[in-house]
Chains A and B, each alone.
Chain A
Amino acid sequence: DAGITQSPRHKVTETGTPVTLRCHQTENHRYMYWYRQDPGHGLRLIHYSYGVKDTDKGEVSDGYSVSRSKTEDFLLTLESATSSQTSVYFCAISEARRDTQYFGPGTRLTVL
């Protein structure tokens, strides 16, 4: 987890409320990713970024948006949280697109 932090680590919220998760890195890596992890599904890519202000959708992007205004920060926003978005969210970074990914400690989100 060195060099990557996620905040908050745990969050409980209600359906319909907006939620923002933050990923912060100190490694100056170009690529940053948001995944969600659910039982039986492994990790599924939500969005990723290949530079400041450069982002693209992943496999399960519906209901999520992202922003990257600085190299070190990648924000994931749930505009209106739903119970199906209850999950553990992981941020990852890599120097290049096909390189090893380094993961943060995760954020456990519960939407009631």
Chain B
Amino acid sequence: SQQGEEDPQALSIQEGENATMNCSYKTSINNLQWYRQNSGRGLVHLILIRSNEREKHSGRLRVTLDTSKKSSSLLITASRAADTASYFCAICPADNYGQNFVFGPGTRLSVLP
């Protein structure tokens, strides 16, 4: 399977702490994206990182990509209660044919006030 696998499955932290989620995958990729899903809502795009990039930032979010280890991490700094959500990585395989992004099962983040 080309599916991205997030780790951990669930994470609980205090407000103000940093949260780190990891995504591992099995195939070569064109790009990898992170999405957030609040309970009962659709997914919202956070960051896209291409296979030739190693790190990207967006506000309090930092994404890294290590293609040699086939892994990516999402760091949320100074977390807030509003960051409570599920986070998904989605991989776009490099040899994509008849298929688009493949999503992992997600990490459920709880930020406690």
Which residues of chain A have a CB within 8 Å of any CB of chain B? Answer: 1, 4, 31, 33, 35, 40-45, 48, 56-59, 90, 92, 97-98, 100-106
Contacts and interface: CB of A to CB of B under 8 A. Distances in A.
B41 A42 contact: no
A1 B42 contact: yes
B96 interface: yes
A33 B48 contact: no
B45 A101 contact: yes
Say which size band chain B's interface belongs to: 20 to 34
Interface in B61-113: 88, 90, 92, 96, 98-106
Given A42-B3, A45-B100, A97-B96, A103 B105 contact: no
B42 A98 contact: no
Contacts of B99: 45, 58-59
Given A41-B105, A42-B88, A43-B88, A48 B100 contact: yes
B103 A98 contact: no
A103 B40 CA distance: 13
B45 A100 contact: yes
A105 B40 CA distance: 8
30 contacts: A1-B41, A1-B42, A33-B100, A35-B103, A41-B105, A42-B88, A42-B104, A42-B106, A43-B43, A43-B90, A44-B103, A45-B99, A45-B101, A57-B98, A90-B42, A92-B43, A97-B100, A98-B30, A98-B31, A98-B96, A101-B45, A101-B90, A101-B100, A102-B45, A103-B35, A103-B43, A105-B41, A106-B40, A106-B41, A106-B42
